[in-house]
Amino acid sequence: MEEVKKVRTVCRSCHGGCGVIAHVKDGVVIKVEGDPDSPISHGTMCTKGLSITQLAYHPDRVLHPMKKSDGVWERISWNEALDTCVEKFTQVIEKYGPEGIVIGQGTGRDYESHFSRFGNLLGTPNIITAGHMCYLSRIGASLITCGSLPACDYENNPKCIVMWGCNPLWTNPDEYKGAKFWDALDAGAKLICIDPRRSFYAEKADFWLQIRPGTDAAMALGFHRVIIEEELYDKEFIEHHLNGWEPFVERVMNDYPLDRVAEITWVDQELIREAARLYATTKPAGIHWGVTTEQNLNATDYTRSVIGLMAVTGNLDAPGGNALRVRPPVRNISEFSAHTELSPEQRKKRLGGEQYKLAARMTICTPKPVWDAILTGKPYPVKAGLLVGTNPVTTRANAREVYKALSSLDFLAVADFFLTPTAELAHIFLPSGTWLEQNHVADNWKFHGYVLARVKAVEIGECWQDHKIFMELGKRMGQQWWDTVEDALEYTLEPSGLTWEEFKKVGYLHGEQRGYKYREKGFRTPTGKVELYSTILEKWGRDPIPKYTEITESPFSTPELAKKYPYVLNSGLRTATFFHSANRQIPWLREIRPDPLMELHPDTAEKHGIQEGDWVWIESPRGRIKQRAKLNEGIDPRVIAAEHAWWYPEIRSPDHGWDVSNINILTDNSPESTDPVMGSTSLRVLLCNISRCEDE
């Protein structure tokens, strides 16, 4: 028997970055614990990371490649699986061009660099991710406004925090880990919570603004109104570092009086005024935003408005405010991803690229034009796909259309851990390795200033880490790659002067952080300033100044429809257990949350004869699903909050009950409901009605 070996690595059960010590005995991970030496998580771990062994060694996990023959899965070799993919992709390229292939990922497992490189070298412009309505939409809007992505600087003691539609203690999103927020709050920071639900943060907050879902851009402009009226802005910054102040002020003063903002957002105007005043007068102050703000047609305008708040109050790139992080000395994704290898001719073929120019600038497609091309053959046919670590049948809007489109492909390959509802539609299944089974320079795509050593602890079955899948498939397609995954990591690390073996011992690299960089170099925008008046949007023929646009399906814009569907559906209720569609087969986590929950106010429940724990039908103009009722006095009686991405692994039929409780059957992806330059989908803002399931 071997002694227990401790492997220092980095989690990726959700957004990743938390330090982990994996205990390995006889080639098996027997437990994991938080690494107290992690510069990001300081020894903390969440339920998703702690349960990784139940995922990695789950009896239903697929540990070998498979192909579907006459509707039945059978085991095959990696050679046969890859050769089949090469054969099918080559046939499509020869007949339709590489644009006839779509490749897609979800909220990735830290393989963005390899994923994008494979697509670019393949020659397809049609890359779909979650980014059109999650994170990349925020990055895209930030890049055209101030040249980088601002992150709340918890390390430098913010005196005021605006927690805007986010729950970092549960979701640990992107640049953040929940421990950092808690430290700042413990140190005495003031807290403003903007959230439709009375959350943990609302209970702790100095001000809770119970906003109508989807009206965040209007709230941001309401904050601006107060700051302008009371002259709480940084005059020196505005004079030297802001483009478009005068026309922006004119719009705010003409279009966003506080009484109108209050009517739009459902928040009392005096509460808005007091919260805005606290933020603007407490220095330094940071805004911590969440994905909720991106998932409607105001995504770009919201992000640009909030960066404006950071800028005009002097908190942008200020210690303790919203930092613009300095990257460590490693090659970034753009350098690795071979974006220049995709020809201008192929870029012009990107589906939806002319409509959603910001998405195209971020080198992705909004999914709706892809589904349309698959189903209609217009503007050209899309016949094959490769989906990695994604389950769009449950995680994308208008799920029935997604299911129909993926079912219509001539060939689909899926790489994942389990046979999800999406994977069941595939012809080839490629078994992916978990984060315990990979070597990688982790977090290289984030804006927190770190890269971290994710070190392989074990091998399980025939699973390959996704990076290897892209590399080996790419090489068989004639692409230029390195011999091994570790060789590619050496290339990534080259600017640092470290080899992969040396980096593993170091554990992480951190960029040299400093504030007020704009005083020397300006901002990385066309004007060198924060562009509240966007020269890029103006060039695209779009409104260059942030604004609020009413949701296309709401009590205000569609009052007749609201008579039949009187509630606003907030369809992204988060839990501490699941990561989007993942983990519902994990015993520890499913025990915590055995059924999907929808939250409603007790008065609303009484109106419909619904009691705690009842199964409830939720219906929109697009369909009907059911979830269990949870009564919550901290939710507006006009709002229903429901969990997303539900499916039932225990249902053994190939569809795994994907259409029973999947809230995305009710959501809309029509072009008029999406952000006009990014294509961000309206997920948390549409109308619904409810009724008790009498047959349950």
Whether the Cβ atoms of residue 330 and residue 110 lie closer than 8 Å to each other: no
Q: Domain residues of the chain, as ranges?
A: 66-135+335-434+462-495, 147-326+519-539, 559-692
Omega of the bond leading into 168 within 30 degrees of 0 (cis): no
| Model pLDDT, residue 576 | 85
Which residues have CB under 8 Å from 92's CB, separation 6+?
Answer: 98, 100, 101, 383, 384, 410, 411
- For 31-47, the pLDDT digits (tens) are 999 999 999 899 999 99
> In the chain, pLDDT over 90 holds for what percent of residues?
90
Whether the Cβ atoms of residue 450 and residue 423 lie closer than 8 Å to each other: no
Residues 148-178: b if buried by 16+ CB within 10 A, e if exposed: bbbbbbbeeebbbbbbbbbbbbbbbbbbbbb
| DSSP of 632-647 | -TTB-TTEEEEE-S--
| Model pLDDT, residue 175 | 78
Which residues, listed in sequence order, are joined to residue 599 by a DSSP beta bridge?
A: 630, 641
In CATH, the number for domain 66-135+335-434+462-495 is 3.40.50.740
Collapsing DSSP states into helix, strand and coil, what is residue 207? Answer: strand
**Topology classification of domain 147-326+519-539:** Dimethylsulfoxide Reductase; domain 2 (3.40.228)
> Six-digit token pair at 538?
């103006």
Task: Quickly list H helices, 420-460.
Answer: none
Task: Quickly list H helices, 436-554.
Answer: 466-476, 485-493, 500-506, 518-521, 535-539
Please identify every stretch of the chain with a pLDDT value under 50, giving residue numbers as ranges. none
| Model pLDDT, residue 526 | 98
| Model pLDDT, residue 179 | 79
| Model pLDDT, residue 696 | 61
Whether the Cβ atoms of residue 530 and residue 311 lie closer than 8 Å to each other: yes
| Model pLDDT, residue 446 | 86
Residues 384-408: b if buried by 16+ CB within 10 A, e if exposed: bbbbbbbbbbbbbbbbebbbebbee
| Model pLDDT, residue 171 | 77
Residues 463, 289: Cα–Cα separation, whole Å: 36
Q: Which residue has the tokens 């899965």?
A: 73
CA dihedral over 359, 363, 364, 365, signed as positive or negative: positive
- For 415-452, the pLDDT digits (tens) are 999 999 999 999 999 999 999 999 999 999 888 899 99
- Reading phi first (left if > 0) and then psi (alpha if -120 to 50, else beta), residue 320 is in left
Whether the Cβ atoms of residue 449 and residue 511 lie closer than 8 Å to each other: yes
Instruction: Kindly report the number of other CB atoms within 10 A of residue 688's CB atom.
Output: 28
Question: For the domain with range 559-692, which CATH number is right: 2.60.120.480, 2.40.160.20, 2.40.40.20, 1.10.4190.10?
Answer: 2.40.40.20
- For 182-214, the pLDDT digits (tens) are 889 999 999 999 999 998 899 999 999 999 999
pLDDT, the chain, mean: 95
| Model pLDDT, residue 445 | 86
Residues 325, 316: Cα–Cα separation, whole Å: 11
